[in-house]
Amino acid sequence: MFYDETKVYFKAGKGGDGCVSFLREKYMPKGGPNGGNGGKGGDILMVADENVGDLRAYHFNPQRKAKNGEPGRGSDQHGKSGEDCLLKVPLGTVVQRLGTGEIVHELLEADQEILLLEGGRGGRGNMTFKTSVNQTPRQFTEGKAGGDGEFVLTLKTIADVGLVGFPNAGKSTLLTVMSNATPKVDSYPFTTLFPSVGIIEYPDDFDRITMADVPGLIEGAAENRGLGHRFLRHVERCLLILILLDLAATDGRDPLEDFAQLRSELEQYDPEVASKPYLVAGNKIDEEAAQENLERFRQAYPEITVFPISAILELGLPELKVNLLERLR
């Protein structure tokens, strides 16, 4: 299972209470107040970690709490601050308040660290209340409560290229042969049930790009049918969209209708996503019906350059790779 959304409850630590104490040593019967301050409560921190793939850790353990600060002690000893709670999340994690949907933070860069909830301030010991007119104060303050809240963590994949297409178009196969990714590949629809990101290397240019294979669309995905928004949100941050069509019409689909439907689903979901630059690749060019469908597509959309490829035979891939890099640049 791939966990890209979960509800959580976080609580920062409470500050330690201040201490009331007086120095009572031999020859110093009235040594004065020496109660220390309480320690600060631990913070809730979040950091974007490239080695974390999804939000499963928070799905199975949704409640996290930082340590409380220690209370102050006599002999002018301040309490120790509570240990912070550092939460590692994948790049692309969005933190929203449960109920309001308010976006609190987005973690988009590796090692980016945010303070989500601050620990409570420690209380004051009686030594801090001593004045010229109050030599034996018995006042102290309690530690403040730390912040807490319920949140929704949502993962939106970060990649240069988002690979979209209907089920069985060959997206997983294409990602496998073009990059270092190893998504599940098979002949039945919805083989891919979660995003998979691969790195495409360009040794001659000393460059690399990332491409995300996301679950196949179905008609009505924008209305949350099938995998719906769980798919579509993973292309929001991609710089370029690669639309993959099945030119062989393996499942009896028409590549021209597929293209129009894909564009429509992206537009219905978010016009900004639909306005992203895109390239079109026609897969399975080695099949019998592919060449005819390719010509039909070119006649219907003369303004669009379609790259005929065969992912399984690795035909046309060098040209596609070059054009992906050039378009991103």
What CATH number should be reported for the domain holding residue 236? 3.40.50.300
> Is there a single domain that holds both residue 77 and residue 168?
no
- Same domain for 184 and 320: yes
One domain, residues 181 and 322: yes
Distance CA 153, CA 162 (A): 21
DSSP-derived 3-state class of residue 197: strand
Q: pTM (2 decimals)?
A: 0.75
Per-residue pLDDT of the chain (329 residues; tens, 9 = 90+): 678 889 999 999 999 999 999 988 777 777 789 999 999 999 999 999 988 888 999 999 999 999 999 999 999 999 999 999 999 999 989 999 999 989 999 999 999 999 999 999 999 999 999 998 898 899 999 999 999 999 999 988 888 998 988 877 888 889 888 887 554 444 434 444 567 788 888 887 768 888 888 765 555 444 444 444 566 777 888 899 999 999 998 878 899 999 998 898 888 888 898 899 999 999 999 998 899 999 999 999 999 999 999 999 999 999 999 999 999 98
Instruction: Give dist(CA 181, CA 69) in Å, integer.
Output: 45
- Domain of residue 285 covers 161-328
Is residue 25 within 8 Å of residue 60, measured between CB atoms? no
- For residues 140 and 9, state if they share a domain: yes
* Number of domains present in the structure of the chain: 2
Query: Is residue 109 within 8 Å of 69, Cβ to Cβ?
Result: no
Q: Give the DSSP H/E element, type plus range, for residue 94.
A: strand 93-97
Q: What is the rounded CA–CA span in Å between residue 56 and residue 92?
A: 15
In angstroms, the CA 192 to CA 173 distance is 11
Same domain, 148 and 165: no
Residues present in the chain in total: 329
